[in-house]
Amino acid sequence: MAILNPTAWTILGLILTLLGVLLLFRFGMPYRLRSTEGNYVVAGVPEKDRYDTAYSVFGWVGLVAIVIGTCCQIIGAYLSST
């Protein structure tokens, strides 16, 4: 027996996906470019500061929320078909 019914899984997935998309629009996609020395640098930002760290964290949270939201929607669709 499932903890949540299929509709609840789908709604939870939609909310997480929406939250993730909004975070990505606001904070941007988290990405790093490898430099020739093997260190990571942020493209377009001369030095890493606390705002860069916060934007990177919120970007990753948004990306993870989209992935988890999509998985919740898949679970909801699977449970409704069985």
**Ordered per-residue pLDDT tens for the chain, 82 residues:** 557 899 999 999 999 999 999 999 998 887 765 555 555 555 555 555 677 788 888 999 999 999 999 999 999 999 998 7
**Residue 11 forms part of a structural domain:** yes
**Residue 35 forms part of a structural domain:** yes
State the pTM of this model.
Answer: 0.75
Query: What residue numbers bound the domain in which 46 lies?
Result: 6-81
**Residue 13 forms part of a structural domain:** yes
φ and ψ at residue 7, rounded to 5 degrees: -65, -40
- Read off the tokens for 22: 């909004």
**Residue 1 forms part of a structural domain:** no
What proportions of the chain, in percent to the nearest 5, are helix, strand and coil? 65, 5, 30
Q: Which helix (H) or strand (E) holds 33?
A: strand 33-34
Number of domains in the chain: 1
| Residue 65 three-state SS | helix
